[in-house]
Amino acid sequence: MTNLQAPQSAPIRSQIGPFVRYSHEVLVVLLTVLAIWVLRGWTSVVERVLRYYTPFPSWDYWRVIYDAYFHKSLGFQIFLKPHNEHRIIFPEIIYQLDLLLRGRLILPIVCSFFFYAMTWVVLAYVIGRDGTISPGWRAFTALLAGIILGWQGSAVVIADPFLLQWTLSNFCVSVAIFMLARSKTAKGTEAICIAIIAAVIATYSSGNCLTLWPVLALEAWILRLTRRQFITVLVTGAVSIALYFVDYHPDNNLKLLELVRHPLHALGFLTTYLSMPFGAIRSDRFAVALGTVNILCVGLLFLYARWRQFLQSDAAISFFSIWLFILFTAILITSGRITLSAGYGDAKASRFWCIQLLNWADIALLLGYVGAKSRLRLRVKVAGSAGLVMLAGLGILKLRSALNYDDNQFANRQFAALSFEAGIADPGFMRRTFPSPAFVRELLPYLGTHHLGVFSLRPFAWLGKPDFVAGDMSSQARSGEVVSTLPVDGGIEVIGWAEPERNGNERIVLVNENKKIVGFGQSLAAGWPSDLRSVAIPSSEAWVGFINLRYGGRRVYPYFLSHGRLEPINGSVSIDEHLRRVPEDVGVLLNNVEWHAGPAWTINGYPTVTYAANVPLGVVYGSWSGDDRREGAIISSPFNTPATGCLLIPVLHGPLMQGLSLSVENADTGQLIRRDRKSVV
């Protein structure tokens, strides 16, 4: 019998021997590569957050300034006011603390990054403390989750201070779910107390966390916690939810009828939400299919975990509970955001990326954990792990173009903030940060009086001061020139280029002939706004500046501020009387002009989501008319050529201008007068 077994075992050893012999070295190399990948990914997140940073409020964050403006009359009520169905008490505390630190928006962004990073730490700790799987598998799974969460697109959420509610609530949800799982075996009541505190903070940071309490109750039931612990979770959840709706005034955004009337569209919206951000790689069909795979994958893993009887382990129950919370969040967002006219657009909004990345990181953890607990052969597990890494890498690689739109949004914020820092209050710049210029104009004096945001920075105090307050004049010139100028309300916009300085601030100081500082500019770290990219200069060398006409002068010269020295740049800006009058001199309005439009054009044919402040008074002809793919011609009645030979035709467009074009032709002769592509303004 022994003689028969010997020859059979020999070839088997020869096949697996080298693999087993070097498996440790292969594992070390793999984990090292993944660790470097994680480090590079999170470094990219930090770099992009720094690029996006703007010490000036924009969009929803103006609510914080508004609350501070009326703080004396509102008092503590500013913390209790719902915002878009959310009660954001704990984020509001951080916002108000930031105002005590000159309102530069640093504290919310730092806190947001901390909470987001700590979410990964919590997930890694959950998988890392499970001794039922090997240390190599634990490390691999934790690093894979870190790669997904460390995609640089998360910086879009982190760098927007008002989106702190998402990173804070995600962290608290992860802590609450894990600590409740710990309470089954932990001594005393510390674990369940931490779980409840974290859940309460999450609830009063983001409204979707109301669904966390049913998840915790279900988790407690599956874990078979003691009756006292189970009742504690139920009572605390009931009280938290009840208090949430005290003096609550909803915006009536729920679209339950849409869900009933169009269930397939609602399901498509839901699966698209769960597919993001990777669903943005291809078409809507791909997003729906990927979201469906997301749900089916977790469902199969749940059945397998229940069959193999390890569902009650801390890691398994925590990861399944986190995913269930994300599913409830997706259902809630679907019920509030779904509209037939917008398709699945709201499901793809970048403001949700952090929770959607948590979704995919959680699935990676589930796959790694369940795979490690399975009875599959080692080779199959290794192949599956390699497949997960390749899918994560391919998805992240394909997502590079998804950041272009958000790059432009942050570039617009930096552009507008620079103009306000120079004392320019142009309504067009205000719209880059908020749809209502009147609202911004009302709050700007508050920011300036209290030296908040950009008004607390050094350059703001330079206006009207001698040039030496910025630096000493240098005889060495900086390569560059002034390319174009544009009159704006109260000043002049100046665009130019200059040889960039590595690790420098790249600040441009604008000085008049009297050696007085009348404005300044800089390169925009977030990039170049799309409506300015038609300028024939590289974005990496471009700078934009603003001259404040309040400080007078006939000619202005640009200087590059380099380490305390002002290096002259070629070119200058002549300030004459006609240039000053342009912002106010809009010419003579052409009356009695009638328009004959094709079927694609309708009166007030613009999206209903457009803010009223963006639409001028009077009749507006729109070609959107319910579908952004429509186009057509609109012809005016005959009119006399203006004496100046100049004709201004106002055209509105949405935040995306890709593919847009405008052609102006002579209706009688067909002569092309002007054509603009991708830059209609």
8 Å CB contact between 255 and 269: no
8 Å CB contact between 181 and 318: yes
Per-residue model confidence (pLDDT) at position 403? 78
Query: What is d(CA 147, CA 38) in angstroms, rounded to the nearest whole number?
Result: 5
DSSP 372-408: HHS---HHHHHHHHHHHHHHHHHHHHHTGGGGHHHHH
8 Å CB contact between 548 and 491: yes
Residue 541: exposed, middle, or buried by beta-carbon count in 10 A (0-12, 13-18, 19+)? Answer: middle
CA atoms within 13 A on the CB side of 658: 4
Per-residue model confidence (pLDDT) at position 110? 96
CA 586 to chain centre: 37
List helix spans (H) across 183-313: 190-203, 212-223, 227-244, 256-261, 263-275, 284-307
- In the predicted model, residues of the chain with pLDDT beneath 70 are 1-24, 71-80, 82-84, 249-257, 340-342, 378-382, 502-505, 533-536, 577-588, 604-618, 624-632, 643-645, 653-660, 675-681
CA atoms within 13 A on the CB side of 67: 23
Per-residue model confidence (pLDDT) at position 83? 67
Cβ neighbours for 669, distance < 8 A, ≥ 6 positions apart: none
Q: Which residues share a beta bridge with 498?
A: 480
Residue 300: exposed, middle, or buried by beta-carbon count in 10 A (0-12, 13-18, 19+)? Answer: exposed
Residue 328: exposed, middle, or buried by beta-carbon count in 10 A (0-12, 13-18, 19+)? Answer: middle
pTM of the model: 0.82
Q: Enter the DSSP assignment of 465.
A: S
